[in-house]
Amino acid sequence: MKVLVAVKRVVDFNVKVRVKADNSDVDLANVKMAMNPFCEIAVEEAVRLKEQGIATEVVVVSIGSSAAQEQLRTALALGADRAILVESAEDLTSLAVAKLLKAVVDKEQPQLVILGKQSIDSDNNQTGQMLAALSGYGQGTFASKVAISGDSVAVTREIDGGAQTVALKLPAIVTTDLRLNVPRYASLPNIMKAKKKPLEVLTPSALGVSCACTVHTLKVEAPAARSAGIKVKSVAELVEKLKNEAKVI
Where in 137-156 is the site for another protein (CB under 8 A)?
A: 137-139, 141-142, 144, 154
- Binding of residue 181 to another protein (CB under 8 A): no
- Binding of residue 88 to another protein (CB under 8 A): no
Closest distance between another protein and the C-beta of residue 146, in Å? Answer: 13
Among 50, 82, 184, 241, interactor with another protein by CB under 8 A = 241
Residue 201 or 242: the one with the smaller Cβ distance to another protein is 242
Residue 196 or 216: the one with the smaller Cβ distance to another protein is 216
Q: Which DSSP symbol is given to 19? A: B
Interaction pattern, residues 23-52, with another protein; x per rule: CB under 8 A: ---x--------------------------
Q: Contact region for another protein (CB under 8 A) — 41-49, 59-67, 74-82, 94-102?
A: 94-102
Closest distance between another protein and the C-beta of residue 139, in Å? Answer: 6
Closest distance between another protein and the C-beta of residue 76, in Å? Answer: 26
DSSP 114-149: EEES--TTT----HHHHHHHHHT-EEEEEEEEEEEE
Q: Which DSSP symbol is given to 229? A: -
Torsion sign across C-alpha atoms 26, 27, 32, 35: positive
CA distance 10 to 69: 13
Site for another protein in 184-213 (CB under 8 A): 213
3-state secondary structure of 61: strand
CA distance 38 to 152: 23
Q: Contact region for another protein (CB under 8 A) — 58-66, 184-192, 195-203, 215-223?
A: 215-223
Among 124, 186, 190, 197, interactor with another protein by CB under 8 A = 124
Q: Which DSSP symbol is given to 54? A: S
Residue 196 or 219: the one with the smaller Cβ distance to another protein is 219
Write the CB contacts of 231 (distance below 8 Å, at least 6 apart in sequence).
none
Cα 217 to the chain's mean position, in Å? 21
CA distance 146 to 42: 11
